[in-house]
Structure 1
Amino acid sequence: MTSIVFMGTPDFSAPILRMLYEEGYAIKAVITQPDRPVGRKRVLTPPPVKAAALELGLPVIQPEKLRGSAELQQIIDLQPDLIVTAAFGQILPKELLVTPPLGCINVHASLLPKYRGGAPIHQAIIDGEKETGVTIMYMAEKLDAGDIISQSAIPIEAEDHTGALFDKLSNVGRDLLKNTLPSIINKTNSRTVQDETQVSFASNISREQERIDWTEDATTLYNQVRGLHPWPVAYTTFEEGNFKIWWAKVGQSKHDAQPGTVVAIAKDHFEVAAGNGSTLALYDIQPAGKKRMTAEEYLRGTGSKLQIGDQFQ
């Protein structure tokens, strides 16, 4: 039976690990990121892949940084036939890439060569893409630049957000890898060099990308909100504090107001002027220093003083 070292960290990766286990592959170890503090109370929490691995009784290795570490040599000494990665979160050093005879492959959540990098799902939604998918690829020293083995595409629905698309693509990746692995093991798989003229990047989301620019049109802002939902969440400023926008829709009102101005207030939402005469309707929000709440709760309670003409920045 083919021996595998699996490397992954978030929820996206866990179903892929479970599939490898259920298919009977000999998983020598699971490599994931260290436990991190989570939430306001900073509770030390294992990554989802570690939780899945422990549940399956698999050994876990958690290097803070792989390159030059004792853990790197530990992985090399396992001598796996194949290394499979899925959203691991670190670039593999060359000495690891050349270790397994069947190579190192990655389950990447985009249709490469589009959206190389750490945030392909976020970026595809933010950019208003209508389609995305998963690529199984050989790993190279250059980020997400290895040869393509197989791909599977799915549509991005109008109300998809990053959380929903993570779940969809995790399942797509699981099934695609399951179907692709036999050809990799038998060395009968196809191998396509990426077209460098078609490359685009999706770097990890920056704080600046989270901020709403009200001069943009409402469709662009809607894509930004859903591309950042449920993490890291879009925000604007109101009354000198950060004001998170968890969910919004393109509004129905037309206006000639300054972008960022409240132009309509209803029972369960309020509309803020955006670019080109459009509005963004806010439904799920979090004022500075408050818990997340619906716009209806906000308008009925602490936000009852919100008035048409108030300004978001």
Structure 2
Amino acid sequence: MIVFMGTPEFSVPILEMLIKENYPVGLVVTQPDRVVGRKKELQKSPVKQLAESYGIEVFQPEKLRLDYQYVIDKKPSLIVTASYGQILPKALLDTIPAVNIHGSLLPKYRGGAPIQYALFNGDKETGITLMEMAFKMDSGAMIEKRTIEILDSDDYGTLSQKLSYIGRDLLKENIDKVLAKNYTAIPQNEDEVTFAFTLKYEDEALDFNKTVFWNHNRIRGLSPNVGAHFVYRNVLVKVFKSHKSDIMDLNPGEIRIIGKRLVIGCLDGGIELDLIQQAGKKLMPVRDYLNGQTLFENGGIING
């Protein structure tokens, strides 16, 4: 029996492959349902929705490190994780073999936000690593890696989806060898380790004292699900799409409206916002937003 651990959309194709290929997934572990939206409705994770559609038992501990015995009692032959969102306790890893589908070319970008950081840093390639699980975060030996080009048009949504499918295929090609314990794993080079820790709210903020490149890539790495943000006149504005402006003579944080265009100065030029959402309003293209807004009237300077 296999236990699968995952939570977001990234995990769904991987779990679905295991199910459709008739691997014996007997338990799915996912994050607890969370309250979302203005109506404060409980929302099931995408992985839970898929598991329930196939009648697979779901286990949702608030803190797996304190509530893992149920998994051990199932006596699975393997745990497969893919973007679960919690660290597996040592007692669990000491008892049950486990592999992970990680969204980077390890040892680069250990941590919970590898796809975001590849975009933040303007990387030209990234990939998936199928790895053994170890108690130290993302430190296990590597079974196989696969590389993918990052396109200029990619954002978190498109890149995450591509990597999810690569992870699915990589696991499909290797799972029989993993189950039979008939594979070679290569230790990671600790001298090459970098980290991509789970993002905090302040990591999602734009900084117009930095370059256009820095701000544009921050927007790419947070779209379309979270959005990068800034505050102007005590109003939160989220940005989901942008491009480098041909307007260069702007001071950092300076706002300029030209027709139906909204440009903000950065350290080395202007960034043009294409898709934004003001707090309390709908997500909309800037050309439509500017028709009725008053927030950016007469321009101004964004401080901080």
Whether 2:286 is the aligned partner of 1:274: answer: no
Which residue is 1:40 aligned to?
38
Which of 9, 13, 20 lines up with 2:18 in the alignment?
A: 20
Which residue is 2:126 aligned to?
132
Q: Distance in 2 between matches of 1:287 and 1:51?
A: 31
Offset at residue 167 of structure 1 (A): 0.8
Offset at residue 310 of structure 1 (A): 2.0
Which residue is 1:31 aligned to?
29
Q: Distance in 1 between matches of 2:275 and 2:145?
A: 35
1:113-262 alignment, distance < 5 Å = 113-255=107-249, 257-262=250-255
Compared with structure 1, are the counterparts of its residues 104 and 304 closer, same or farther at alpha carbon in structure 2 (3 Å cutoff)? closer
Compared with structure 1, are the counterparts of its residues 301 and 31 closer, same or farther at alpha carbon in structure 2 (3 Å cutoff)? same
Whether 2:300 is the aligned partner of 1:310: answer: yes
Which residue is 2:285 aligned to?
294
Which deviations, in whole Å up to 9, do the C-alpha atoms of 1:139-176 show, x marking residues without a partner?
A: 11100000000111101110111111111111110001
The percentage of counterpart residues that share the same residue type is 43
Q: Specify the SS of the correspondent of 2:51.
A: helix
Which of 61, 70, 83 lines up with 1:74 in the alignment?
A: 70
Q: Distance in 2 between matches of 1:244 and 1:288?
A: 8
Compared with structure 1, are the counterparts of its residues 224 and 236 closer, same or farther at alpha carbon in structure 2 (3 Å cutoff)? same
Q: Specify the SS of the correspondent of 2:112.
A: coil
2:81 counterpart letter in structure 1: T
Root mean square deviation of aligned Cα: 1.4
How many pairs does the alignment contain? 303
2:270 counterpart letter in structure 1: T
Q: Distance in 2 between matches of 1:201 and 1:304?
A: 38
Q: Specify the SS of the correspondent of 2:65.
A: coil
Which of 84, 90, 110 lines up with 1:88 in the alignment?
A: 84
Q: Does structure 2 retain, via aligned residues, the 8 Å contact 1:161–1:226? A: yes
Show structure 1 runs of 5+ residues with no match. none
Q: Specify the SS of the correspondent of 2:165.
A: helix
> Larger deviation: 155-164 or 234-243?
234-243
Offset at residue 247 of structure 1 (A): 1.2
1:270 counterpart letter in structure 2: L
The alignment's TM-score, normalised by the length of structure 1, stands at 0.93
After TM superposition, where is structure 1 displaced by more than 6 Å over at least 4 residues in a row? none
